[in-house]
Amino acid sequence: MPDELRPRVRLYEIQCRRIIEGKTYNTETATQLGYWDGGDLPILEALYQSRHGAFFLYSLEETRRTSDPRHERIIPLEPQDAQKWMEQHCPPEVIERIFGEMPEAGEAEARITLRLPETLRKRLVALAEERGQSLNAWILRCLEMCTALAEGKRR
């Protein structure tokens, strides 16, 4: 991963593992996406994504920084909450690497779910990568071109 997309330097290696509602959250096997040292506040937070895509926040009050695990918290997050946290604490490139290209301000956006064969998805990914684009950006451009072509034929 290019240096500009790596999270900011970690304050220290965080080792924390919790089981919450039957799911394991482990900072040692997850990817750290960013951290926040609290500025003037005595708090440390680090956002992680598990190997299976779940987001969670590690939190520690620095006034309580000890080896006692009761002073550490892991908070599972929904993707939209993880994105909001990243918008406050991470550079835009890191956010878009995780959540995809963001629309320009002022544009309305709709989300759709598209089911397609895995073989077609792989072909689309390869074409997008060849053009240096995200899969979402490439599909959007294809849809725009097809729509323009169809509209031109109707006129």
pLDDT single digits (tens) 35-51? 888 777 767 899 999 99
The band of 31, judged by pLDDT with boundaries at 50, 70 and 90, is very high
User: Is 107 found in the same domain as 75?
Assistant: no
Average pLDDT over residues 81-103: 92
User: Is 88 found in the same domain as 44?
Assistant: yes
**112 three-class SS:** coil
User: Is 119 found in the same domain as 48?
Assistant: no
What's 137's domain CATH number?
1.10.1220
User: Is 67 found in the same domain as 27?
Assistant: yes
The band of 4, judged by pLDDT with boundaries at 50, 70 and 90, is very low
Structural domain containing residue 72? 3-99
Q: pTM for this structure?
A: 0.58
Domain tally for the chain? 2
Residue 82 has what DSSP assignment? H
Average pLDDT over residues 86-109: 86
